Structure 1
Amino acid sequence: MAMKNITYKVPENDKEVFVDPAIDRIPDLVHENRQKIHNYKFEMNGIPFQILRDKTREEVLRMAANYTVGIQSLLQKSVSGPCLYVRNSSQKDASWYRAQDKLAMRGLDLDYEAIKSIPIIQTGHEPILYYPGVWIKNHLTQYLAGKLGGVGVNMIVDNDTCNMGFIYVPMLSEKQATIQKVSFVKEKSHMAYEEIVFDGPETILKFKEEVLNLLKKNLFDEKIKTTVESMQSAFETFINRILEWYQKGCVDMVGLLTAARCALEVDFCRGNLEVPVSWMCDVDGFYHFLLHVFYEAEWFAKIYNGKLAEYRSIHKVRSKVNPLPDLKITANLVELPFWIWKAGGQRGKCYMMREGELIKVTNGVDVVVTLKKSDGTKNNIARLKALKEGQMKIRPRAITTTLFSRLFFSDVFIHGIGGAKYDTITDEIMKEFFGIDPPTFVTISTTLFLPLDTFGLDIRILQVLQHELKDMSYNPERYASKETQNDTEFVKRVKEKEKLLAMMSIMSKEEKRCYFNQIKELNKLNLAKIDTELQRKRKKIDTVRGKLAHNEVIQFREYPVCIYPTKALRDYFLHVFSGG
């Protein structure tokens, strides 16, 4: 079967939702996925897949529960309460054992057998300042978990670089409406989220000041003052919480932004479990997945590049780096879709070299670890785990992140539109590399505009006005005032133009050019006579342009939820699935 040609379209209208498949179809899809996954019979490193999956589900759920307990301890209003938040999975303490209480509150038992039957609904995204089209994935995850008696898990993609560490802010100024971009950690945008730690509150305070100053500039208009003040209040509450948690001891960007989002979600639902990719990379299942890909590196890379080529062909993409760059394959070096770096440093690409029976994993400069297949799985996984002692990290890239999650952990994965397009590639890799029919994923997105009024016009009005302005240069007589139409010289030039136009129909090409130049001069003279009408038309075009720019600013869909008035969020998200 050929790769899917997904042509999903981002919702354009306010409160419009795109979801595929339909909401009421998803519970059946989850059941179908569970049956499909249950029938996978392949082995990985000599271990049946089902055993690895069951163990991975248990380990990741426990990690997610542990991490969520830490986040929730930040949200406690009591200043004297214990802070159970830890940044790294290797920092586990007594809070790890409190994790069972987290799931027990939901009527879920963490024993090994029960975890096999718990429907796990998963989504994931970078720990950025979510906008509504992204945030709705978390709401659907929670809704389905409740409906299916399962558990929702949000995967924090903290292994991505922080090039999305900014927010958009509307500027509805008197001159021209614009959208401003404010960076949170501009100087660290090249680093993975999991590496970003604040040495003091100055960065957070500067970010707060910049955003609030931009919002204040919208207060000139009394009609929108109340809404803008609600936006300011929402953002101040959001950022003040972050400052409070920083004082509690949470100093990393991932923890602070995750806690801030979870605090918002408390008002909407019970909340999903949270787990960073960096934590998931510590479970045995991930090490088995990693080792299996290392063993089959050449084959995996060829399949990966082949599926990218197929995607480009279907979607008519010419660039060799879109949607993702090909993996480099040479005589003795194979690039693999993982990142590798030392704690505190920048991400580097991961390569594998074969030298006889040795498998050398390298960042392109240094050999990070050497594996030997004849030494057995247990010893090689021990070598991979030992990398942590030297603070070396191996993390999945985009496709391997969702491949691992969908195959080893969840029963259904919820994507946004962009992620869904890329995961059609993941589907094809799973089919060929593992020889399976991959579990189906869900796609959802929405658009929620800021609760501000727009002008009742669209681009077509501007297009008509621009056409008329252009026509005024060629046919000024059509736009002349009554007074001008009675001007003797003006009327004389109009009649001369009509006479020339009539004669042009029977003239040669060279004669037509001569007549055309005469008509051009007549139009130029008559155009001067309608200057008032010309200026009025240009002013009207400028006004319409300004109103359209105002509409575009208000109808921009990527403002972060932290600047939306709380009431606007509640009115929408509390009822978004009530009909489903």
Structure 2
Amino acid sequence: MITLEVSTPFQAYQVPRADQTALVSPPLAEAPGLLKENQRLAAGWSFEFAGIPIAQLRQQARVDLLAAANQYTSAYRDYSGPQDPTSILLAGHQPQLFHPGVWFKNFALSKLGHSLSATPINLVVDNDLRGSGSVRVPAEGPDGRIQAASIAYDDPGASVPFEQHRIANRQLFNSFDERLAAAVAPWVDSPCVFEMWKHARKAAERCENTGCALASARHAVEGELGLQTLELPLSVACRSRSFAAFLIGLVGDLPRLHACYNDSVLEYRAAHGIRSQAHPVPLLGESDGWLEAPLWLYGDDAPERRQVWVKQQGDLLYLSDLQGVTVSIDYDPESPEMADQLYRLQSANFKLRPRALVTTMYSRLILGDLFLHGIGGGKYDQLGDRIMGRFFEITPPSFMVMSATVWLPRIGEAADSESVTRLQRMIRDTRFNPQRFFPGADRPEELLAEHRALLANVPTGAEKSEWHRRLMDVNTKLSAMLDSVRSRLAAQQREAQEHSRQWNVLASREIPFCAYPLEMLDETFTKLLSQH
């Protein structure tokens, strides 16, 4: 076995800042080599999950994944891309109305699936929290100034996973496209929210689930653009026997996973100078003999995510939220029966779901051959690499990182980032270098001559104090004559600050993709992919 060296440096990924620019790391041309190398690495793995060799688990999990993704996708759109369970590309994100940089991954997933003849599947990470039920977009305020406005697609509600959230306010949901379009009308004539929301309303009738409606509507629009990818909610992938076996491979050896996980987190924090106990993830805890597992537990009757705690006692393995829900299974981590017992325990009120690092661990080790991350995912999954490397004693498979920046059309010239600083410096100079501001005929020649003389004859020793007092006195007198200049500069500074503020609202990377013209995004992403 090859052990991952803990000295391996973490890679930094730079957000593309300019309009219509992208980060693709490594370049797309290296994807075929990465795919083959990852498959070569996987062929050499020999560890087991619940007594099931990883090769066998990977084979079954992929067959199940492909069947489930085909069934799920066919409910709302067609798919005619590759169908090979032995070569799978994966991406994933929460079913949010995310920014164009995230959507860029889906276009890359389709392109790579076609060029590599690999099955492209996007995982809808619906075990993450829904959030506010609204998006932030630019809008003109009553005074004509540009400000960030919150446009809701549903009522605020409890912080529960997308999987558990039902649309609460159908009227608000159905009118979202019109309200969003009205807000961005000064810059966008026809945002793609109109194309998307006709699908979202149909999906809401079909599934009533927020994540389902948002993700399937976006995916339907991708189909209309010609993108060929499959999709599947992570919650569906987690209902399989394969996922149960994977979990047994983790919780069946939880003390060692605990050490690998926490040591890797501490190493990551030290490398990045992070002092927060919550970033990038909290350490796994221990309480009265219970060890915390990197999992969530929730269900229909109690939809809030709770921590999962595990304890082995005799011939039994207990899993609990330490809040009243506790189950047990026979402890034999080398037996497939243990995985079968865990699989049979899952129900509408007992849903075991992975946390972020375990989600990508399962995706990269079991489900796919090459994973496409965004910048955040790529940054934090380097921590996942450390955990996988230590726990499984392998070199983890490589992944790709990509994102893009696209500005709204018609937002005007970019703000001069240096103008505010320059004006602030000029205002300061009216007090400490006032001689620079008297170019005209009304120059106070005597004071300026005295100022020049003082600067030309700087004394030393005891005379320095009197010289400094005289210089400050001249500066004060000259500065007092510059009130109108300071007022003019201050007005220019306020104007520059306001322009910069409004520009930052318009050029924000967090504006949702559905606020943009569809043709513009399609053309931009196609161009960027051809360049990388």
TM superposition score normalised by structure 2: 0.91
Q: Counterpart amino acid of 2:320? A: T
Are 2:69 and 1:115 aligned?
A: no
Corresponding residue of 2:238: 281
Q: Counterpart amino acid of 1:149? A: S
Contact 1:171-1:214 within 8 A present in 2 as well:
yes
State the secondary structure of the residue aligned to 2:129: coil
User: Could you tell me how far apart the structure 2 residues matched to 1:249 and 1:168 are?
Assistant: 27
Q: Counterpart amino acid of 1:558? A: E
Contact 1:71-1:255 within 8 A present in 2 as well:
no
What is the deviation of 1:291?
1.4
State the secondary structure of the residue aligned to 2:312: strand
Mean Cα deviation higher: 545-554 or 259-268: 545-554
Corresponding residue of 1:80: none
Corresponding residue of 1:460: 418
Please give the per-residue CA displacement for 1:425-472, whole angstroms capped at 9, x wherever unaligned: 111222221122211111111111112243265212332222111101
What is the deviation of 1:57?
0.4
Corresponding residue of 1:399: 357
Higher relative contact order (CA 8 A, sep 6+): 2
Partner of residue 54 from structure 1, selected from 55, 59, 63: 59
User: Could you tell me how far apart the structure 2 residues matched to 1:377 and 1:186 are?
Assistant: 47
Contact 2:161-2:304 within 8 A present in 1 as well:
yes
- Kindly tell me: are residues 188 and 513 of structure 1, through their superposed partners in 2, closer, same or farther at Cα, counting changes over 3 Å? farther
Are 2:193 and 1:235 aligned?
A: yes
User: Could you tell me how far apart the structure 2 residues matched to 1:106 and 1:533 are?
Assistant: 67
Partner of residue 492 from structure 1, selected from 436, 446, 461: 446
Coordinate RMSD, CA, aligned: 2.6
What is the deviation of 1:145?
0.7
Please give the per-residue CA displacement for 1:504-551, whole angstroms capped at 9, x wherever unaligned: 63353xx75666455445434333322332222222223332333343
Partner of residue 129 from structure 1, selected from 89, 97, 100: 97
Are 2:374 and 1:416 aligned?
A: yes
- Kindly tell me: are residues 33 and 46 of structure 1, through their superposed partners in 2, closer, same or farther at Cα, counting changes over 3 Å? same
Corresponding residue of 1:94: none
Contact 1:158-1:192 within 8 A present in 2 as well:
yes
Contact 1:415-1:444 within 8 A present in 2 as well:
yes
Mean Cα deviation higher: 459-468 or 56-65: 459-468
Q: Counterpart amino acid of 2:355? A: R
Q: Counterpart amino acid of 2:232? A: V
Identity rate, percent: 27
TM superposition score normalised by structure 1: 0.84
State the secondary structure of the residue aligned to 2:286: coil
**Larger helix percent:** 1
Are 2:69 and 1:64 aligned?
A: yes
Mean Cα deviation higher: 399-408 or 517-526: 517-526
Corresponding residue of 1:198: 167
What is the deviation of 1:13?
1.3
User: Could you tell me how far apart the structure 1 residues matched to 2:403 and 2:94 are?
Assistant: 16
Which residues of 2 match residues 171-182 of structure 1 at below 5 A? 171=139, 176-182=145-151
What is the deviation of 1:314?
1.5
Mean Cα deviation higher: 511-520 or 312-321: 511-520
What is the deviation of 1:387?
3.0
Partner of residue 139 from structure 1, selected from 107, 123, 137: 107
Are 2:262 and 1:312 aligned?
A: no
Please give the per-residue CA displacement for 1:45-83, whole angstroms capped at 9, x wherever unaligned: 2221111110000001111111111232xxxxxxxxxxx
- Kindly tell me: are residues 214 and 57 of structure 1, through their superposed partners in 2, closer, same or farther at Cα, counting changes over 3 Å? same
Corresponding residue of 1:302: 259
Contact 1:123-1:137 within 8 A present in 2 as well:
yes
Q: Counterpart amino acid of 1:21? A: P
- Kindly tell me: are residues 567 and 547 of structure 1, through their superposed partners in 2, closer, same or farther at Cα, counting changes over 3 Å? same
User: Could you tell me how far apart the structure 2 residues matched to 1:122 and 1:553 are?
Assistant: 33
- Kindly tell me: are residues 476 and 186 of structure 1, through their superposed partners in 2, closer, same or farther at Cα, counting changes over 3 Å? farther
Are 2:15 and 1:7 aligned?
A: no
What is the deviation of 1:389?
3.8
Are 2:7 and 1:38 aligned?
A: no
Are 2:530 and 1:551 aligned?
A: no
Partner of residue 505 from structure 1, selected from 455, 459, 463: 459
What is the deviation of 1:481?
5.0
Contact 2:19-2:405 within 8 A present in 1 as well:
yes
Which residues of 2 match residues 159-170 of structure 1 at below 5 A? 159-163=127-131, 165-170=133-138
Are 2:414 and 1:448 aligned?
A: no
Contact 2:244-2:339 within 8 A present in 1 as well:
yes
Corresponding residue of 2:489: 537
Please give the per-residue CA displacement for 1:163-208, whole angstroms capped at 9, x wherever unaligned: 3743221135665433334444462361101111024513314645
Q: Where does the alignment leave 5 or more consecutive residues of structure 1 unmatched?
A: 73-101, 109-113, 219-226
State the secondary structure of the residue aligned to 1:187: coil
Corresponding residue of 2:297: 340
Please give the per-residue CA displacement for 1:144-175, whole angstroms capped at 9, x wherever unaligned: 11011121000000001123743221135665
User: Could you tell me how far apart the structure 2 residues matched to 1:47 and 1:10 are?
Assistant: 41
Please give the per-residue CA displacement for 1:275-315, whole angstroms capped at 9, x wherever unaligned: 11100111111100111212111110110000111111222
Partner of residue 286 from structure 2, selected from 329, 334, 337: 329
Which residues of 2 match residues 205-216 of structure 1 at below 5 A? 205=174, 207-208=176-177, 210-216=179-185
- Kindly tell me: are residues 172 and 294 of structure 1, through their superposed partners in 2, closer, same or farther at Cα, counting changes over 3 Å? same
